[in-house]
Amino acid sequence: MYITNDIKYIGVNDHEIDLFEGQYDVPNGMAYNSYAILDEKIAVMDSVDGNFKDEWLKNIKDTLGERTPDYLVVQHMEPDHSANIVSFVQEYPNAKIVSSSKAFAMMKNFFNTDFSDRQIVVGEGDTLSLGKHTLTFLTAPMVHWPEVIVTYDDYDKVLFSADGFGKFGALDVEEDWACEARRYYFGIVGKYGVQVQSLLKKASKLDIQTICPLHGPVLSDDLSYYLGLYDTWSSYKSEDEGIVIAYTSVYGNTKKAVMTLADKLKANGAKKVVVNDLARCDMHEAVEDAFRYDKIVFATTTYNAEIFPFMREFISHLTERNFQNKTVAFIENGTWAPTAAKAMKEMLSKCKNLEYAKTDVKIMSALNDESLAQLETLAKELCGAKVTFGGESSMKYVCNVCGWIYDEEKGSPENGVAAGTAFDDLPDDFVCPLCGVPQENFSPVEQ
């Protein structure tokens, strides 16, 4: 693999692994990337997984010939990148280790030594000269561990991005970058969007022509594409217009409702409808879809007065990754006391900027005329058609004191008022969330 005249690839492919980090299915394996920068002095950028010690050390020797490395730069301490530090030190006893102070503390944890006799501690803006190549180090805490640094080479204009811009899959397999990079991002980095945004701002000040991540291919063509996707993902914007239906079903009745809704959505002009059976699909693919598209329907059965386990797991994956900025709808099923919609809303209550559909679909065991009509109404609502509820159009009311608007269609979830709650049905103690005045200070908005 050619990167530049001075930067050589010395990483490895892993086709033995089945689950990355013990949970992510990787049918096309993984790449553990490492690089050597050849100059008056030589820097090796990161190590590889411990199972590939011999191959990695051989790659270094084959690339350097009679020369030996002067530095090992450790950007990230996860074992798939740091496991061979001790082996490197044994092989090259005169080399220095360059890393952050937090990384050296972690080395003590992993290896019972922090290599104090060969440390070069670097932080934000520190530099290291190799000759014509000068490396500048940028801190990237929580992208996605606290010790992470990334490295910019000003001569070849290369950003060594640690786990940023990585993807699942070995390098000897051809596959679409975005699909597996998206699943990798939301699975592994997704919680830390604020921190990724901070790193992107730092990167925007650099003249970057090539990105060398620790997983996945080296990126050099149309970097605006990759940077743009990372900006979208880390700011929790929807990447595409579409409706995801995530469901669980015990005896098939909830599934029947989901498939009926999918057909109705398509009939009403939905551009993209994605259906995920959470008991059978790749859970992390379903998480990827939930973040990718702008609308989602949660459909599940009441189970032990709560929700079915696969749905609980799915929503937990979303909430711990800061799920937000979506239109959300619910289908619940229960034979005697449906509580699934309430339980799902409670799990999502801390998520930001969720716009709840006014229509909740309630199934009592199996579809009937009433729940079929609810599915039809929900399909139209999600597809943007004007829908009337109870014979009246949704109304808005403005606070005469501060101008805050109560929208019946949206409700006020932050105040515990569900979407679809009519103004006249607001609790007696409802007050304006901005200025605190009671309901009698509101007036209808002319529409």
- DSSP letter string over 114-177? --GGGEEE--TT-EEE-SS-EEEEEE-TTSSSTT-EEEEETTTTEEE-TTTT--SS-TTS---H
Q: Which two tokens stand for residue 84?
A: 């061979």
Q: Which amino acid is at 371?
A: S
What confidence score (pLDDT) does residue 435 get? 86
Q: Which amino acid is at 293?
A: Y
Q: What is the 3-state secondary structure (H, E, C) of 56-74?
A: HHHHHHHHHCCCCCCEEEC
Helices and strands (H, E) in the chain, number of each type: 12, 24
Q: Which residues of 391-424 are buried (b: 16+ CB within 10 A; e: fewer)?
A: eeebebbbbeeeeeebbbbbbbbeeebbbbbeee
In sequence order, the β-bridge partners of residue 405 are 398
Report residue 126 CA to chain centroid gap.
30
What confidence score (pLDDT) does residue 393 get? 53
CA distance 347 to 295: 17
Q: Which two tokens stand for residue 48?
A: 């590889």
Tens digits of pLDDT across the chain (447 residues): 899 999 999 999 999 999 999 999 999 999 999 999 999 999 999 999 999 999 999 999 999 999 999 999 999 999 999 999 999 999 999 999 999 999 999 999 999 999 999 999 999 999 999 999 999 999 999 999 999 999 999 999 999 999 999 999 999 999 999 999 999 999 999 999 999 999 999 999 999 999 999 999 999 999 999 999 999 999 999 999 999 999 999 999 999 999 999 999 999 999 999 999 999 999 999 999 999 999 999 999 999 888 999 999 999 999 999 999 999 999 999 988 889 999 999 999 999 999 999 999 999 999 999 999 999 999 999 998 755 555 445 688 988 888 888 988 878 877 778 777 888 889 888 998 888 889 999 988 765
What confidence score (pLDDT) does residue 446 get? 64
